[in-house]
Each structure stands twice: as structure tokens, then as C-alpha cells.
């Protein structure tokens, strides 16, 4: 599920595309977050920080930051990786909730190099959330990129962060792990091998198609051309709505796409179910400390007829304290549910045993 592509030399601009593939609507909205917001890790409060940079993020259920860019042109993207294993952090370990993983990076870093150094030095532990739909923790990895064209992928497969850092790492999909993806893509025609590039929804085929097409772009004359070219690549690697494949009940489809200009600071969003394209230009946004956190209601306003479209930077609205409190409580519930999953499993097994005995 999901694809991220970086075009680091689009006539002087760094352009990034991202597909969000999921099997249900994530009720995604955009949020504008100012500098100066005080946050904690969402786990035990051992890690606290004050946001250095303002950002625009796309959320899942208004609780989890899954895509976004800050005012310095540093961006990040949460994708699915089935092989993820975050380990069991000790009580005194410094941890970071999955819900705030991306937000920490957007709040604190200007470049990929800074983020990689911090990740490798701290060996930060990622605390899982409970997915309320599947009733299991999501398995995620993180891609980061910046206005210099630098890129990194951060994966947890043995409880510790594995960082793949290079400007050459332009494409990221899902399974298998990134080192294996880099080897697999070499077998395809035009990428080092002679195997025809596949057109399926498999992560390996999407990786190959994205790598092939981003490496064959002509230089754009305008920002519109560069972002349109990236959107065409993302549409090529998108997953169609479909009946699940045999043995894959959770088959995903592309539910939205983003295209980011990290150099000129534009963030564009397109939904596959609410067919309008919207964007915000950061030079028109105010991220000053002391301003409220503001939300752009995409779920309600990206209607087929009469809905918002185009530049929507002036349409963010402040969120009331009651909603903020409710979102924090909801996030806390998912965190606690994840931490107690072992106890829950034991109780369920005991209960099922009692039912069979009766």
C-alpha cells in the first residue's frame, strides 16, 4: 500500500508525489500547524518538544499525521511495511507514538541529514497504536525528503531503526524491506535488467514503474508542468478500486494523492473519491507562534458539485477546544489499547476457553 516518488532535478525544483493506498476511507483532512506548539511523545512524556517549524499535514481520522511538509521544504510520508517490527520498549526507553512519528520530524528538522543524525544517535523507539478497524497495530515505515533533493527511508524490522540515506533513493513502495526492493528493481528493463516492467498492483511492480518513469522526465518549463508530470506518474502507479484478490481480503486502492514542490513550497492534494484538486502555497500562510491549529475540512467540502478546488490557503478554520480534547482522548485510547494488547489476548483466550467448556 502506498507509493512515494522524488524528482530531485525538475528544472531547479524538488518535486515529490505520494499515493495513499488503503482499503477504507481515512476521512483525511488537511491541518495547518504553527510554530511554537508544545508536544510530547504520546506515550510516557519522556520526550517533549516545541515545534521549530510550521507545517501542513494530511491526517488519518484527524489523529495520525501520515503526510506533510514544513515551511523549510522538509517533507515526510508514512507508508505500510508488513515486515515492520518495533520491538517491546522498556518502561524507561524514550519512545514516540506512531501517530506523532512524522510530526516530530516536521516540527524539528530542516534537512534529511539532520533527521538521519538524530534518528541514528537516539535510536528512538516507536510505540504502536491500535488500528480500530483491524484491531491490530499498523506496520509502518517513514520516508523523508527535503528541498535539496536528499532522501531517506526509515524502517524498523528488529526493534531498531534501519536508515537508508541517499539522494538516489527516489522511489519507495512497500514490501519487501528497502534493501531487497533496491535489488529487485535491477531485474527490470531500463533499470539494469531485461525483465519487462509489470503492470500489476504489486509493490515491486509499482516500484519499478515509478523508478522507470521518474528517470525519464523531460525538464519542465513551469511549476504547473512539473507538478502535472509528477501527478501523471502517481496515477500510473495508483491502485484501482477492485474486488479483493484471492487470499488478499485487505487489498488496497488509491484513495488520495499528494504532489509537493519542496523548493517553491506548494502542497497539492487530490482525492479519488471527491474529485477536486486543492493546493496551498506556503508563502501565503502564516505559521507564527501563538496562532491556533487550523483544519481544512476536505471530507465535507470536497464535494463533486460546488465543492472547494484550487488554492484553498485561506479556508483553514480554527478548531475548538472541545474537538481538540476529543481527538486527544481518542488518540490516548488507541495508544492504551495497543500497549495492553497482550493482556487483551490472554483474556480473550480465557473467555473462549470458558465458552467451549460450557
pLDDT of amino acid 243 = 83
State the pLDDT confidence band at 228, using cuts at 50, 70 and 90.
very high
Q: Is the pLDDT of residue 358 over 60?
A: no
CA distance 246 to 262: 40
Q: What is the pLDDT of residues 256-269, one digit of tens each?
A: 999 999 999 999 99
Q: In degrees, to the nearest 5, what angle opens at C-alpha 176 toward C-alphas 175 and 179?
A: 130
Whether residue 11 is preceded by a cis peptide bond, meaning omega within 30 degrees of 0, is: no
Mean pLDDT value across residues 285-292: 96
pLDDT of amino acid 322 = 47
Whole-model pTM: value is: 0.89
Q: Is the pLDDT of residue 330 over 70?
A: no
Contact partners, residue 104, CB within 8 Å, separation at least 6: 39, 41, 47, 49, 96
pLDDT of amino acid 242 = 87
Q: Is the pLDDT of residue 343 over 70?
A: no
Which of 12-26, 112-126, 299-313, 329-343 has the weakest average pLDDT?
329-343
pLDDT of amino acid 129 = 78
Phi, psi of 300 (to 5 degrees): -90, -25
Q: What is the pLDDT of residues 78-115, one digit of tens each?
A: 999 999 999 988 777 889 999 999 999 999 999 999 99
pLDDT of amino acid 81 = 94
The phi-psi region of residue 273 (left if phi > 0; otherwise alpha if psi is between -120 and 50; otherwise beta) is alpha
Give the percent of the chain with pLDDT over 90: 72
Evaluate whether 74 touches 110 at the Cβ level (below 8 Å). Answer: yes
User: Which cell numbers in the block locate residue 240?
Assistant: 484501482
Q: Given 1, 2, 185, 294, which residue is catalytic?
A: 2
**Could you tell me which residues are beta bridge partners of residue 6?**
16
Whether residue 2 lies in the annotated active site = yes
DSSP letters, 83-131, are T-------TTS-EEEHHHHHHHHHHH-SSHHHHHHHHHHH-PEEEPPP-
Q: Is the pLDDT of residue 226 over 70?
A: yes
Given the C-alpha cell 479483493, which residue does it identify?
A: 244
Amino acid at each position: 500500500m502506498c507509493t512515494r516518488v522524488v524528482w530531485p532535478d525538475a528544472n531547479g525544483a524538488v518535486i515529490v508525489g505520494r499515493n495513499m493506498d488503503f482499503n477504507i476511507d481515512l476521512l483525511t483532512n488537511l491541518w495547518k500547524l504553527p510554530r511554537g506548539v508544545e508536544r510530547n511523545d504520546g506515550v510516557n512524556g519522556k520526550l517533549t518538544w516545541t515545534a521549530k517549524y510550521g507545517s501542513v499535514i494530511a491526517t488519518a481520522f484527524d489523529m495520525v499525521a501520515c503526510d506533510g511538509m514544513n515551511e523549510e521544504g522538509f517533507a515526510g510520508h508514512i507508508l505500510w511495511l508488513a515486515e515492520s517490527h518495533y520491538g517491546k520498549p522498556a518502561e524507561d526507553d524514550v519512545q514516540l507514538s506512531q501517530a506523532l512519528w512524522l510530526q516530530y520530524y516536521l516540527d524539528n528538522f530542516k534537512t534529511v541529514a539532520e533527521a538521519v543524525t538524530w534518528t541514528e544517535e537516539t535510536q528512538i523507539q516507536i510505540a504502536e497504536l491500535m488500528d480500530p478497524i483491524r484491531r491490530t497495530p499498523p506496520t509502518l515505515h517513514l520516508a523523508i525528503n527535503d528541498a535539496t533533493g536528499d532522501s531517506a527511508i526509515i524502517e524498523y524490522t528488529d526493534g531498531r531503526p534501519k536508515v537508508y540515506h541517499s539522494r538516489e533513493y527516489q522511489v519507495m513502495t512497500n514490501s519487501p524491506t528497502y534493501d531487497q526492493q533496491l535489488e529487485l528493481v535491477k531485474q527490470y528493463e531500463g533499470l539494469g535488467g531485461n525483465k519487462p516492467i509489470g503492470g500489476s498492483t504489486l509493490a515491486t511492480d509499482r516500484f519499478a514503474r515509478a523508478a522507470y518513469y521518474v528517470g525519464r522526465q523531460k525538464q519542465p518549463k513551469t511549476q504547473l508542468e512539473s507538478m502535472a508530470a509528477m501527478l501523471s506518474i502517481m496515477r500510473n502507479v495508483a491502485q484501482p478500486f477492485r474486488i479483493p484478490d484471492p487470499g488478499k481480503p485487505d487489498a488496497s486502492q488509491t484513495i488520495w494523492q499528494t504532489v509537493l514542490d519542496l523548493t517553491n513550497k506548494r502542497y497539492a492534494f487530490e482525492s479519488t473519491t471527491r474529485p477536486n484538486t486543492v493546493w496551498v502555497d506556503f508563502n501565503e500562510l502564516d505559521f507564527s507562534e501563538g496562532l491556533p491549529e487550523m483544519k481544512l475540512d476536505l471530507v465535507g467540502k470536497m464535494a463533486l458539485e460546488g465543492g472547494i478546488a484550487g488554492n484553498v490557503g485561506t479556508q483553514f478554520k480554527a478548531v475548538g477546544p472541545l474537538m481538540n480534547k476529543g481527538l486527544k482522548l481518542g488518540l490516548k485510547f488507541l495508544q492504551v489499547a495497543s500497549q495492553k494488547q497482550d493482556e487483551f489476548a490472554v483474556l480473550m483466550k480465557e473467555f473462549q476457553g470458558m465458552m467451549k467448556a460450557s
